[in-house]
Amino acid sequence: MARAYKDRPLYFAHSIEGSADTFQWERLEVHLREVAELASVYASSFNAAEWGEMAGLLHDVGKYSLKFQDYLLTANGIEAHIEQRSKVDHATAGAQLACQTIPNLGRLLAYVIAGHHAGLADASGESSSLDERLKKDVEPYQHAPSEFLQPDISLSNPELEFDQSDREMVGFQLAFFTRMIFSCLVDADFLCTERFMSPERAEQRPQPRLTFEEMSCTLRTFLENKSATSTEGTVMQCRQGVLAACREAALLPPGLFSLTVPTGGGKTLSSLSFAIEHLLKHGKTRVIYAIPFTSIIEQTATVFREVFDALGDDIVLEHHSNLDQQREEDHRSRLAAENWDAPLVVTTNVQFFESLFANRTSRCRKLHNIVNSVIILDEAQTLPVDRLRPCLQVLNELTRNYGCTIVLCTATQPAIEKGDDFTIGLESVTEIIPDRRSLYRQMKRVDVKNLGNLTDAELIEHLSEHESFLTIVNTRGHAAKLYRELVEQRGQHEGLYHLSTLMCGEHRADVITDIRQRLKDRRPCRVISTQLIEAGVDVDFPVVYRAMTGIDSIAQAAGRCNREGRLDSANVYVFEPTDVRLIGYLGAVAQTAQEVIPDFPDLLAPEAIEKYFDLHYYKQSGENDWDKTKDQGVMNCFPFAEGKMLFNFRSAAERFQLIDDNGVSLFVPYESKGQKLIEALRENGPNRFLLRRLQRYSVNLFENLFQSMKSDIELFHDFPVLTNPSAYDKQLGVRIDRPGHIEAGDLIS
């Protein structure tokens, strides 16, 4: 067989496992042409078709080596020229060829080709770096046809509008372009390989047949019906005004927009209306709705599915960790999530931004599908200050060179436009609401009153004056402590609820459902919560108490009070807890808010919020504080000194974490369903689907708290599980308040 193989020099990209009939295997030249064609189509969306084609033609050139072909033969039990059982590096050859045949620009392709399995590497410093790969001895691939060794493609400079005023930005822009070409290649390679290796899986990929005109008509009909069944009033009139402004602004040229609407102003569906109408007007390809919190995502995706239910299951793609069982079992949804091949994607800020700085193939596959899209960033004020610079730069780049329109959607628009004191800011941002100060006055439904310092006992005295209230505090421990003291005072749980992230997602969802029903029935409803209830949870309380925090969070809390404007007047009381010590970020934003309060009688007025964000951002001592520290910044990973493209993709991906992940995920036995899932984990071990279902029954604990609870926890197949039933309470969730555990007041929610 080896002699026949040598006499008939056929070269293969992929074999069929267990098949000795090589005529069924995929010819290498066929695979290279198919990948080149598809990658070219993807890259054409940002005027880089020839880059995608070149990457596709060269990416597997290393498979023309006899060593790789012997590996395929050996793996399938066929006699080979030399028995080769270990995998063969086939990516380095194409990277080296790119550098040899294409001066300067070939290095960008080399990053892409060398990393199409292992991920984009750093320039130097370790054996897997690009420089080390380029020096590596590789197997000869001289049998490759000339069309692959010397492709007849003219590779021009990337068609980018460069920021010539900032040399560092040129490096960032070239690196981002490289990551986009990488996305085109790895997605094309994956899909072409899947088409040969798993045709049945390829056929299951969603193929949306609808038009965006259908989505537009469906949304308009939904909004008209919603308006017809709603009670007339000032709030509803304001919502209609917001919707009209969004539809009018959708006709404007693509670019950066802001949508500043007070909480309860209907910005979710109005911003979606803008996105779809803008997409139709300007030929955009999809809508991406990015949201900071999974609790809001689940609610928003449910609303969108309600709107587009009649159009089919393939319209709304929900991509985040807490997917429920039914949606996770939808195979087409899982496939679409791999590369965001759907008309409307609802995702997290973490998934969105971390993908844009990622280096792994799995996270980068989707990037080319972000090109030419309409992106709604909900609750834009939640972007962390110490990652602000890379976040804003990538938004600028998406609008400047990749055809995206971006809407910063919020009730409290942060001051992130470029200025003399804020050079990293966004430029040319168009506000959709013509007069947002006037809109604020029209939608004003509450007064904010500052109660000053309060002990817990004094706070409880205030709360005892109300049959229904919502109280929001800053730490999980404080919420649990107040709940226990209220139970002890009244001696019963009826109508009293606790909410915090010490409760698993399924538990919180059940409690919020009960809260909404009691409010709807006008029955007493008293809630102690952390800030998880502030954004996106539609509840309407007659009074709200909020522990001192940032003014943007106070505004969000106010959105849970008199939300529908049914009361003539309602109050939001801000207080400074004296029994809890705030540290770190929570203490800093509370201090900034206290600096603003004396100067503004109306704490929620647009000018007060502008002042707050001015202080919030400008308190930072320099640009490096908007990008972590100088040594650990993301933006300095892409140096472009003297034209040398020494880009460190792996380091950038490691450094860019939108939210610090310093916790341990613990599965908890909430209700019978959670108990059954944990039992399945114990008996059968983990699998993808079981772990996804269990995420609804997980609680994230800080490492020190996790360690203090080790006696309550067992490992089931290396996954921590809370096995002590008394350590999970039906009202409080994980019990952090038992003797011997960490002081409750110091635990951040």
Q: Which stretch of 148-162, 211-225, 428-442 has the lowest confidence by average pLDDT?
A: 148-162
Q: Do domains 212-440 and 443-626 have the same CATH topology?
A: yes
Collect all residues with Cβ–Cβ distance below 8 Å to 611 and sequence separation of at least 6: 596, 599, 600
CA distance 228 to 225: 5
CA distance 471 to 500: 12
Query: Residues 641-680: pLDDT tens digits?
Result: 777 889 999 999 999 988 765 578 899 999 999 999 999 9
Question: For the chain, which residues make up each domain, given as ranges?
Answer: 2-203, 212-440, 443-626, 663-746
The pLDDT, as a whole number, for residue 643 is 72
**DSSP for residue 365:** T
Comparison of pLDDT for 222 and 741, the residue scoring more: 222
Q: Does residue 422 register a pLDDT over 80?
A: no
Q: Are 712 and 727 in contact (CB under 8 A)?
A: yes
The pLDDT, as a whole number, for residue 237 is 87
Comparison of pLDDT for 144 and 207, the residue scoring more: 144
The pLDDT, as a whole number, for residue 623 is 47
The pLDDT, as a whole number, for residue 419 is 74
Query: Residues 65-109: pLDDT tens digits?
Result: 888 888 888 877 776 566 566 678 899 999 999 999 888 899 999
Collect all residues with Cβ–Cβ distance below 8 Å to 27 and sequence separation of at least 6: 10, 11, 12, 13
Q: Does residue 231 register a pLDDT over 80?
A: no
The pLDDT, as a whole number, for residue 7 is 47
Of all helices (H) and strands (E), which one includes residue 26?
A: strand 26-27
Mean pLDDT of the 692-704 span? 85
CA distance 442 to 673: 46
The pLDDT, as a whole number, for residue 318 is 79
The pLDDT, as a whole number, for residue 744 is 39
Mean pLDDT of the 480-492 span? 86
Mean pLDDT of the 318-325 span? 53
Q: Which stretch of 137-151, 174-188, 508-522, 693-707 has the lowest confidence by average pLDDT?
A: 137-151
The pLDDT, as a whole number, for residue 326 is 39
Comparison of pLDDT for 737 and 490, the residue scoring more: 490
CA distance 346 to 318: 5
The reported pTM is: 0.84
The pLDDT, as a whole number, for residue 631 is 60
The pLDDT, as a whole number, for residue 66 is 85
Mean pLDDT of the 278-301 span? 86
pLDDT above 90: percentage of residues in the chain: 49
Q: Does residue 466 register a pLDDT over 80?
A: yes
Q: Does residue 183 register a pLDDT over 80?
A: yes
The pLDDT, as a whole number, for residue 232 is 66
- Strand ranges (E), 428-533: 429-431, 447-454, 469-472, 496-499, 526-529
- Class at the top of the CATH hierarchy for domain 2-203: mainly alpha
**Sequence letter at residue 631:** D
Two tokens at 392?
């804003």
The pLDDT, as a whole number, for residue 248 is 97
Q: Which stretch of 243-252, 382-391, 407-416 has the lowest confidence by average pLDDT?
A: 407-416
Query: Residues 325-370: pLDDT tens digits?
Result: 333 334 444 454 578 888 899 998 888 999 999 999 989 999 999 9
The pLDDT, as a whole number, for residue 382 is 80
Please spell the DSSP secondary structure of 249-294, one letter per residue: HTTSPSSEEEEE--TTS-HHHHHHHHHHHHHHHHT---EEEEES-H
Q: Which stretch of 49-53, 246-250, 381-385, 695-699 has the lowest confidence by average pLDDT?
A: 381-385
Q: How far is CA 7 from the centre of its chain?
A: 53
Q: Are 57 and 64 in contact (CB under 8 A)?
A: no
pLDDT above 70: percentage of residues in the chain: 88
Two tokens at 693?
């279902």
The pLDDT, as a whole number, for residue 80 is 58
Comparison of pLDDT for 703 and 738, the residue scoring more: 703
The pLDDT, as a whole number, for residue 256 is 96
- The CATH classification of domain 212-440, taken from the options 3.40.1350.10, 2.40.70.10, 3.30.230.10, 3.40.50.300: 3.40.50.300
Q: Does residue 37 register a pLDDT over 50?
A: yes
Mean pLDDT of the 545-552 span? 94
Comparison of pLDDT for 583 and 609, the residue scoring more: 609
Q: Hey, which residues does 377 pair with through a beta bridge?
A: 290, 408
The pLDDT, as a whole number, for residue 320 is 59
Average pLDDT score, the chain: 85
Phi, psi of 261 (to 5 degrees): -135, 130
The pLDDT, as a whole number, for residue 330 is 42
Q: Hey, which residues does 447 pair with through a beta bridge?
A: 571
- The CATH classification of domain 443-626, taken from the options 3.40.50.2000, 3.20.20.150, 3.40.50.720, 3.40.50.300: 3.40.50.300
Comparison of pLDDT for 549 and 24, the residue scoring more: 549
The pLDDT, as a whole number, for residue 492 is 67
Q: Are 335 and 201 in contact (CB under 8 A)?
A: yes
**Sequence letter at residue 647:** F
Query: Residues 517-539: pLDDT tens digits?
Result: 999 999 999 999 998 898 768 89
